[in-house]
Structure 1
Amino acid sequence: MVPKAASPLVWLFWWLGPLPCALSAVNPLAPVRRCYIPSLREGEGSGCTRLQVLLGAQFGLNRYGQETTAQRLCLKKLREVGGNTFVFAQGICDLWNCSSADALTGTSADQRSPSEQQNSTPSVFSELCDYQELNPSPDVRRSPVFVKLWEWNYVDIGKECQDYLGPNGFDAVQVSPVTEHKLGPQWWTKYQPVSFSLSSRSGSMEDFAQMVAACRASGVQVMVDLIINHIATPCKDGRGTSSGTPCVGWNGSLYGNRRLAGARGWDAAGPEHFNHLEGSLMDNCIVGPPSWTCKAGSIDVTDCSCCSCDFLKLPDWNTGLPAVHDMHLRHVQELHDIGVTMLRIDLSLFESIADLSNVLSSVPWDFVYQEWWWEKPDPMRHRYIGHFRDITYRYLITHYLGNSTLEKLPEALTLSRGHDQIRPETSVYPIAFHDGRTWKANPGNATYKNGLEFHQQQKFILAWPRGSSILLWGGFGWSSMSDGPPGCDFRGEQHCQPEPVFLDGQAQCMTTPRESPLPADLAMKRTWVCEHRWEGVAGLIEFRKACRGLAVTRTWKDCFAALVRGYNTQLKSEWGHLGNWLLDGLYVGLPSGRYCDLGSLPTQRGWDRKRCPRQVVIGTDGRILSGIVLEGDLLAIHVGGRMS
Structure 2
Amino acid sequence: MPEAAVDGAEPTTLVHLFEWTWNDIATECETHLGPHGFKGVQISPPQEHIVLPDYGFPWWQRYQPISYQLESRSGTRQELAAMIERCNQAGVEIYADAVINHMAGFESGVGSAGTEFTKYEYPSLYSWDDFNDCRQPVTDYGDAENVTQCELVGLADLDTSSEYVQATLVNYMSDLVDLGVSGFRIDAAKHIRAEELGQIIARLRAAHPDQDLLIYQEVIDPGTEAIRKEEYYAYGQVLDFEYGRIVSEAFLGKGGRTLAQLETLGEAWGLAPDHLAVVFIDNHDKQRGHGGGGNYLTHKDDHRYALANVFMLAFPYGQPKLMSSYAFEDSEQGPPADAAGVTQPVYQDGVAQCFGDWVCEHRWTAITNMVGFRNVTQPVAEVTDWWSNGANQIAFGRGDRGFVVINHDTEQLTRWFQTQLPQGRYCNVVEGALVPANGATACANGARVIQVNATGRFIATIPPGDAIALHVGAQL
Bin of the TM-score, shorter chain as denominator length: 0.7 to 0.9
The structure number with the bigger radius of gyration is 1
Deviation larger for 431-440 or 618-627: 618-627
CA distance in 2, matches of 1:357, 1:589: 44
1:391–1:627 distance in 2 versus 1, CA, 3 Å: same
Q: State the partner residue of 1:229.
A: 101
Q: Report the CA distance between 1:257 and its aligned residue.
A: 2.3
Q: Distance in 1 between matches of 2:319 and 2:257?
A: 29
Question: What is aligned with 2:465?
Answer: 632
Rounded Cα–Cα distance in structure 2 between residues aligned with 1:229 and 1:600: 43
Question: What are the equivalent positions in structure 2 for 1:176-575 lying under 5 Å apart?
Answer: 176-184=44-52, 185-235=57-107, 238=108, 247-261=109-123, 267-276=124-133, 284-288=135-139, 291=140, 293=141, 299-301=142-144, 304=145, 306-361=147-202, 362-363=204-205, 364-374=211-221, 377=228, 379-383=230-234, 385-404=235-254, 408-417=258-267, 420=270, 422-438=272-288, 444-464=295-315, 466-487=316-337, 493=339, 495-510=340-355, 527-548=357-378, 549-553=381-385, 558=400, 559-565=402-408
| Matching residue within 574, 596, 600 for 2:431 | 600
Specify the SS of the correspondent of 2:430: helix
- Distance across 2 between alignment mates of 1:343 and 1:219: 17
Helix, strand or coil for the counterpart of 2:279? strand
Closer/same/farther in 2, CA of residues 478 and 234 from structure 1, 3 Å limit: same
CA contact (8 A) 1:392 1:418 kept: no
Shifted more, 422-431 versus 405-414: the winner is 405-414
TM-score, normalised relative to structure 1: 0.63
Counterparts of residues 65-214 of structure 1 (less than 5 Å): 144-184=12-52, 185-214=57-86
SS at match of 1:428: strand
2:94 alignment partner, SS class: strand
Kindly tell me: are residues 501 and 407 of structure 1, through their superposed partners in 2, closer, same or farther at Cα, counting changes over 3 Å? closer
Secondary structure at 1:188's aligned position in 2?
helix
Q: How much has 1:407 moved relative to structure 2? A: 7.9
Consecutive unaligned residues in structure 1, runs of 5 or more: 1-138, 239-246, 262-266, 278-283, 294-298, 511-524, 567-576
2:208 aligned residue: none
More helix by share: 2
* C-alpha distance in structure 2 between counterparts of 1:163 and 1:484, whole Å: 26
Residues 87-121 of structure 1, C-alpha deviation per residue, up to 9 Å, x if partnerless? xxxxxxxxxxxxxxxxxxxxxxxxxxxxxxxxxxx
1:530 Cα offset (Å): 0.5
Assess if the C-alpha contact under 8 Å between 1:439 and 1:479 holds in 2: no
TM-superposition CA deviations, 1:426-483 (whole Å, max 9, x none):
111012111112479x98421111111111111111112x312011111111110000
Alpha-carbon shift at residue 400 of structure 1 (Å):
1.6
CA distance in structure 1 between the partners assigned to 2:176 and 2:46 by the alignment? 10
Q: Is the 8 A contact 1:476 1:529 kept in 2?
A: yes
Question: How far off its partner does 1:325 sit?
Answer: 2.4
Q: State the distance in 1 between where 2:181 and 2:60 align.
A: 22
Partner of 1:18: none
Percent identity over paired residues = 26
**Contact 2:11–2:38, Cα closer than 8 Å, also in 1:** no
CA deviation vs aligned residue, 1:267-308 (integer Å, no higher than 9, x gap): 43221222225xxxxxx23214xx4x4xxxxx242xx45422
Counterparts in 2 of 1:528 and 1:471: CA distance versus 1, 3 Å: same
In structure 2, how many angstroms separate the alpha carbons of the residues matched to 1:422 and 1:586?
32
Whole-angstrom CA distance in 2 between matches of 1:269 and 1:623: 64
Whether contact under 8 Å (1:417, 1:467) holds in the other structure is: no
Distance 2:162 2:420 in 1: 64
Does the C-alpha gap of structure 1 residues 323 and 412 become closer, same or farther in structure 2, counting only changes over 3 Å?
Answer: closer
**Shift in Å at residue 630 of structure 1?**
3.7
Q: For 1:172-194, what per-residue CA distance to the aligned partner results, in whole angstroms no more than 9, with x for missing partners? A: 11011111111121011000011
Cα deviation for residue 421 of structure 1 reads: 5.3
What SS is found at the alignment partner of 1:560?
strand
CA–CA distance in structure 1, aligned partners of residues 230 and 257 of structure 2? 37
- List alignment gaps of at least 5 residues for structure 2: 1-6, 206-210, 387-395
The offset of 1:600, in angstroms, is: 1.7
Partner in structure 2 of residue 20 of structure 1: none
CA distance in 2, matches of 1:140, 1:603: 19
Name the CA distance, whole Å, in 2 between partners of 1:255 and 1:479: 31
Is the 8 Å Cα contact of residues 443 and 449 (structure 2) preserved in structure 1? Answer: no
Aligned length: 439
Between 214-223 and 442-451, the greater mean CA deviation after superposition: 442-451
Q: Secondary structure at the match of 1:437?
A: helix
Counterparts of 2:440 and 2:113, CA distance in 1: 46
SS of the residue 1:478 aligns to = coil
Q: Distance in 2 between matches of 1:359 and 1:450?
A: 39
TM-score, normalised via structure 2 length: 0.84
Rounded Cα–Cα distance in structure 2 between residues aligned with 1:173 and 1:426: 18
Counterpart code for 1:318: D
The answer (yes or no) to whether the contact 1:538–1:602 under 8 Å persists in 2 is no
CA shift in 2, pair 1:587/1:332, >3 Å: closer
- After superposition, give the CA deviation of every residue in 1:68-100 in whole Å (9 maximum; x if it has no partner): xxxxxxxxxxxxxxxxxxxxxxxxxxxxxxxxx
CA distance in 2, matches of 1:330, 1:215: 23
- The DSSP-based 3-state class of the residue aligned with 2:425 is strand
Aligned partner of 1:98 in structure 2 is none
Change in 2 beyond 3 A, CA 1:603/1:220: farther
CA distance in 1, matches of 2:434, 2:78: 30
**1:598 to partner: Cα distance:** 1.6
Is the contact made by 2:230 and 2:272 (CA closer than 8 Å) also made in structure 1? no
The Cα offsets for residues 478-527 of structure 1, whole Å up to 9 and x where unpaired, read as: 11000011127xxxx5x4011111111111111xxxxxxxxxxxxxx7x1
* Partner secondary structure for residue 400 of structure 1: helix
Deviation (angstroms), 1:348? 1.1
- 2:364, 2:436 → 1: CA distance? 14
**Partners of 1:348 and 1:471 in 2: how far apart?**
18
Cα distance in 1 for residues equivalent to 2:117 and 2:298 = 36
